[in-house]
């Protein structure tokens, strides 16, 4: 972050270099946000570990797997300048969004059927949202 700003201020990059630095700054910000969300997921997971599961957690691990694959692929796309891979990652994001919607519907059903599950469902909701 600091290096990018230093280069912007001292070298006045043009065109391609400016685009690269702008993307690098965005990636740094996104990675910091991802780190914060990972910490929040870990906290919620530790809390959930103390309670009986609502159901087997099948979709959350799938979402986590795809999210980590997408981060790796997006970084690879950036480093290699691979537009096709970047587009693929954007398309894969829809799959993760669809899983999130499915989880939201299931959680809503659990909460309606048994209000005792609301606290656990909200924690799962946060994890799903952060992924």
Q: List, for residues 1-36, the tens digit of each pLDDT value.
A: 677 667 666 767 777 777 888 888 888 899 999 999
CB 110 within 8 A of CB 52: no
Which domains are delineated in the chain?
A: 2-130 (1.20.58.220)
Average pLDDT over residues 47-58: 87
The model's pTM is: 0.80
Work out the number of other CB atoms within 10 angstroms of the CB of residue 86: 15
Distance of alpha carbon 54 from alpha carbon 131, whole angstroms: 19
pLDDT of residue 19: 80
Dihedral sign from CA coordinates of 112, 118, 122, 128:
negative
Distance of alpha carbon 35 from alpha carbon 13, whole angstroms: 29
| Residue 96 in this model has a pLDDT that exceeds 80 | yes
């Amino acid at each position: 972050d600091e290096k990018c700003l230093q280069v912007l201020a001292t070298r006045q990059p043009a065109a391609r270099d400016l685009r690269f630095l702008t993307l690098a700054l965005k990636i740094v910000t996104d990675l910091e946000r991802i780190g914060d969300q990972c910490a929040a997921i870990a906290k919620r997971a530790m809390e959930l570990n103390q309670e009986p599961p609502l159901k087997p957690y099948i979709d959350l691990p799938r979402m986590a797997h795809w999210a980590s694959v997408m981060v790796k692929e997006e970084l690879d796309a950036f480093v290699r300048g691979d537009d096709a891979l970047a587009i693929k990652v954007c398309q894969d994001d829809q799959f993760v969004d669809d899983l999130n919607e499915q989880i939201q519907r299931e959680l809503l059903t659990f909460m309606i059927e048994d209000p005792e599950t609301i606290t656990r469902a909200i924690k799962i909701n946060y994890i799903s949202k952060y992924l």
